[in-house]
Structure 1
Amino acid sequence: MTLAAASLSLNGCAHVPLDPTIAAFEANLASHASATAALQQWCDQRAIAPGATITVQFVTGADEAPPVDIRALLNVAADEPLGYRHVRLACGSHVLSDAHNWFVPSRLTPEMNRQLAETQVPFGRIAASLNFTREPLSSARRGDPGCPENAISTHRARLILPDGAPLAFVVECYTSENLAGN
């Protein structure tokens, strides 16, 4: 599975009408720096799992190889340690996202690094106090080869700190479970 492959933009599929629910989902995602926050709002608005908070399910097994340009994307030297998490974000029993996250531990606090290593708290919640922004890089409707079969869209983005330093590179596969509810 190669997650670094180029993706089609959503506009590239203009000949196929975009489902209004997917369009609303995409707009919600675009309005948040944190995918965790976007998914929480979406879960609540759609009543996918009333009262549930977004939780992390770690994906174990073979880790995804980082994209060949990961160090350039994160503006780090060849010897700078990188962190990696492969998780599924769920709202109740509904898995909404399968996400790969490469991040720079030295740009997080020691407590944040501890939480990432020892807890099932989503990255977006742990790093929220850093006030990062989201820089979209690409998106594709229907997912891509590295996504689960039920993916409705894939997003690649960098999370950027206020000083301009990249904090993380994410590849997020959003599942059809996002269409549940209302």
Structure 2
Amino acid sequence: MGLGSTLLLAPLHAREPETVPGWHDDATSRLEALALLQSLNAELLSHPSATLTLERWCGAHHLAPEAKVIAERVQGEDKPLPADAREQLQIGPDEPVRYRRVQLACGGHVLSEADNWYVPARLTDAMNHELDTTDTPFGKVVQPLHFRRQTLSAELLWSPLPPGWENQPTLPASAQAMLTLPHHVLQHRAVLFDQSNRPFSLVVESYTAQVLAFTPPASHRP
């Protein structure tokens, strides 16, 4: 699965930096945070459904009593279709495209905020009805299409360690404070294709600092 354009879409609203309980601003925690974000990134890149990947992540890290991801729709004005989207979706200038924005949450943690532009003519009537009337995650609704995912970009929006840290004699000193993270830490841009190799959805997924909202590995050591 190759990476193409690294274009990133700006988040809908700017967010203030936030802290995740339990994560101290020290070298060990920063290394662990970087390793975990890279692991999540690899999991997302190797599976077609971000929703199911987040459910596995939620369960493995005990983010909620039940590892179930719920899509909470964000109602409001539609976000404009990106300039290159029609070419990526292989549709003409007059083909209808629908927009859906959701927050994917596990327990009380919003793990991802996703912008999704999809071609309703390439889905079944039942799928379109479910997308219009429920909060069911998009990936679960379109599972019968046995879709594949082509990632266009995958970017860490925040690095716990400064550039070139691996060439320094020591890691950054502890700030004796809690680790501060931006609201979004990782972003993917991808196109979904059905079994006939027709693209039907362009999605931009912005993963939040809440993916690290569990007890850090260092806290388990004596």
Shorter-chain TM-score bucket reads 0.7 to 0.9
Tell me the distance in 2 between the aligned counterparts of 1:52 and 1:155: 22
2:200 aligned to which of 144, 158, 167: 167
Q: Given the alignment, which residue of 140, 154, 168 partners 1:139? A: 154
Alignment of 1:60-75 (within 5 A): 60-75=75-90
Instruction: Report 1:1-182 matches (<5 A).
Output: 6-7=7-8, 19-142=34-157, 149-182=182-215
Q: How far apart, in 1, do the equivalents of 2:188 and 2:202 lie?
A: 11
Stretches of structure 2 that go unaligned for 5 or more consecutive residues are 9-29, 159-181, 216-222
**1:5 to partner: Cα distance:** 7.8
CA distance in 2, matches of 1:173, 1:63: 17
**What is the RMSD of the two structures over their aligned residues, measured on CA atoms?**
1.9
Cα separation, 1, equivalents of 2:76 and 2:197 = 33
Relative to the length of structure 1, the TM-score reads 0.85
Counterpart CA distance in 1 for 2:73 and 2:39 is 27
Matched residue of 1:117: which SS? helix
| CA distance in 2 between partners of 1:125 and 1:5 (Å) | 27
Structure 1 ranges of 4+ moved more than 6 A: none
Q: Secondary structure at the match of 1:115?
A: helix
Is the Cα contact below 8 Å between 2:6 and 2:152 reproduced in 1? no
Displacement of 1:139 after TM fit? 1.7
State the aligned residue count. 166
Higher-RCO chain (CA-CA 8 Å, sequence separation at least 6):
2
CA distance in 1, matches of 2:69, 2:208: 14
Q: 2: distance between equivalents of 1:54 and 1:60?
A: 19
1:60: how far off?
2.3
Q: Does the 8 Å contact 2:104/2:110 carry over to 1? A: yes
Q: Distance in 2 between matches of 1:54 and 1:115?
A: 17
SS at match of 1:170: strand
Contact 2:6 2:154 (8 Å CA) reproduced: no
Instruction: Give me the identity figure in percent.
Output: 40
Pick the structure with greater CA Rg: 2
